[in-house]
Chain A
């Protein structure tokens, strides 16, 4: 209180303005998500007629029941989980292995490898040559198109390499004198000691996997390879997709369908598909500091 009195009038006004602006920004952002959650728990009629803006007029789980009743969306969810888990684990391990190799002082041609890798951060062949390459490799309409192209990231490699350089060289040297192979050192000493950096990278990698849908659109046409995001994309962009889904639902679950509309079901699908992100969000926040370090590494 005393401190507040000592502040000049200008500073006080500034303080109020800043708090006000940030509050407005936060409220607007929060409302976007809140509105979606309200919609997901509203009856279709209420939501369609604009009665549920801040709170569901009539609370219901039927939108979720309609979403879960759809076997296609569950299949898409499974594909997303698979690509996220497999893609993230393999990418982190592969990137970490290369990064460890790059920290070894005895490595020959190291500066050549470095330049060779960094060049790829500034030049790329572009959309179509990449597409034609995947076609040639048989990756089109193949589950591994989600995993293989993301196996190695130069950017992540640099971050991991920098964190691995912090490991005391004497420790690794001692293990080598004891007759450990480099692979064993990597597995038993280096990996556990870079846990927090690898965790941070894994989280960002996983979020990227979970959220991507353009690759589904571009590289696959097989409905069995649809990801959850792509499924949702179709629900949002193609109006008849939801109707079709609901029509199928009518047969299975007639009393649910009365209570829903395509808008409220869409919101429920949005909530279901963002759920994994919301679950890992607190962990991601814990790693923000690392993310910030990632930024400073680049500069």
Chain B
């Protein structure tokens, strides 16, 4: 009798805690797993009226279409160009920024630099991009053009955002300023975790600051650097839509249209759901392969990885 009561009690308790977790599971089934099943859209001629079951199966038709699409070389070039050059510049800069910040002894100076450099991360791209557009304005109000003309570097104002070849540098620079401080936090945290005895020992051995940075700090945060690099590599085909939407215009279109943006334009703009899904799916698969490869390479070379 007592045992019966106890097991009832247990069942009740189990149901109680299940009822806490299950809403989360159901949420993910709907909002994460259903869209994963939804990638079948790429293999059918999806017609919203006929639905998933009524639409005709077309196999790899839309994947083949991508490779003969005139825009494909352009979006691939823009995506890889912006991301690879951006990574090559911002990745080392961020680490250097963290290293430099770590060398600052005055708490006030450090706090000021941090407060200012973290701020752009917390304002939206609409706001940040809006100010950048204003700064780069080709009219009489454009600070950058006025400045460049005053110091005699140019005679005519440049329409910065209207020049195709200037789009990548502008986007990369703006993204760097916006993210620099915030992206450095993870390295600053890693540096804080280095055993101070290493530094003391090095100082006694007569190591200068640069040497301590090179021989202690950098190896001390190597694990973090590798993890961040794996993340960056796996995301090399993604683009920050928030930034592109603000900075893209008709004049720089050929330099600013990336894979993600194209998916949005083709899918939501032109209602070509199946084609856009196919592009997105291919992108996700390549991204996943990149993640696994980067992780595997890192495990082999440095014994460190995500999983």
Which chain A residues lie closer than 8 Å to B41 at the CB level? 128-129, 132
Q: A50-B146, A98-B23, A127-B264 are in contact. Are A213 and B124 (CB under 8 A)?
A: yes
Which chain B residues lie closer than 8 Å to A8 at the CB level? 208
- Complex CA gap A186/B307 in Å reads 32
- Complex CA gap A232/B125 in Å reads 11
Query: Within B11-62, which residues are at the interface with A (CB < 8 Å)?
Result: 13-14, 16-21, 23-25, 27-28, 30-39, 41, 46, 48
Describe B's contact surface by its main secondary structure: helix
Nearest Cβ distance between residue B270 and chain A, in whole angstroms?
12
Query: Within B251-291, which residues are at the interface with A (CB < 8 Å)?
Result: 260, 263-264, 267-268, 273, 276-277, 280-281, 283-284, 288, 291
Question: Does A35 have its Cβ within 8 Å of any Cβ on chain B?
Answer: yes
Nearest Cβ distance between residue B90 and chain A, in whole angstroms?
13
- Complex CA gap A177/B136 in Å reads 67
Residues B24 and A152 in contact, CB atoms below 8 Å apart: yes
Question: Does A198 have its Cβ within 8 Å of any Cβ on chain B?
Answer: no
Please indicate which of the listed interface residues B18, B139, B146, B209 has the most CB atoms of chain A within 10 Å of its own CB: B209
Residues B17 and A36 in contact, CB atoms below 8 Å apart: no
Residues A50 and B119 in contact, CB atoms below 8 Å apart: no
Which chain A residues lie closer than 8 Å to B264 at the CB level? 127, 218
Please indicate which of the listed interface residues A39, A277, A299 has the most CB atoms of chain B within 10 Å of its own CB: A299
Question: Does B116 have its Cβ within 8 Å of any Cβ on chain A?
Answer: yes
Q: A106-B14, A154-B28, A299-B224 are in contact. Are A124 and B120 (CB under 8 A)?
A: no
Nearest Cβ distance between residue B167 and chain A, in whole angstroms?
15
How many inter-chain residue pairs (CB < 8 Å) link A and B? 265
Closest to A271 in B: B127
Residues A94 and B24 in contact, CB atoms below 8 Å apart: yes
Residues A229 and B124 in contact, CB atoms below 8 Å apart: yes
Residues A97 and B20 in contact, CB atoms below 8 Å apart: yes
Residues B109 and A19 in contact, CB atoms below 8 Å apart: yes
Which chain A residues lie closer than 8 Å to B159 at the CB level? none
Which chain A residues lie closer than 8 Å to B277 at the CB level? 126, 128-129
- Complex CA gap A274/B121 in Å reads 12
Q: How would residues 117 to 160 of chain A score, 1 for a CB under 8 Å from any chain B CB and 0 otherwise?
A: 10010111111111111010100000000000101101001000
Residues B284 and A124 in contact, CB atoms below 8 Å apart: yes
Q: A101-B20, A183-B16 are in contact. Are A122 and B116 (CB under 8 A)?
A: no
Question: Does A56 have its Cβ within 8 Å of any Cβ on chain B?
Answer: no
Residues B34 and A116 in contact, CB atoms below 8 Å apart: no
Closest to B212 in A: A11
Nearest Cβ distance between residue B240 and chain A, in whole angstroms?
10
Question: Does A102 have its Cβ within 8 Å of any Cβ on chain B?
Answer: yes
Which chain B residues lie closer than 8 Å to A285 at the CB level? 115, 118
Query: Within B123-143, which residues are at the interface with A (CB < 8 Å)?
Result: 123-135, 137, 139-143
**Sample of 13 further A-B pairs with CB below 8 A, known A120-B33, A210-B124, A277-B123:** A25-B113, A29-B120, A32-B177, A35-B131, A36-B131, A98-B24, A106-B17, A107-B14, A123-B284, A125-B34, A132-B41, A211-B125, A232-B130
B residues neighboring A (CB under 8 Å)? 10, 13-14, 16-21, 23-25, 27-28, 30-39, 41, 46, 48, 97, 100-101, 103-104, 109, 112-113, 115-120, 122-135, 137, 139-143, 146, 177, 180-181, 185-186, 188-189, 193, 208-210, 223-224, 227, 241-242, 245-246, 249, 260, 263-264, 267-268, 273, 276-277, 280-281, 283-284, 288, 291
* Interchain residue pairs with CB less than 8 A apart (21): A10-B210, A14-B210, A18-B104, A25-B113, A50-B143, A95-B24, A101-B20, A106-B13, A107-B17, A113-B24, A125-B36, A126-B277, A126-B283, A132-B41, A132-B273, A182-B13, A229-B127, A236-B130, A263-B137, A281-B119, A292-B189
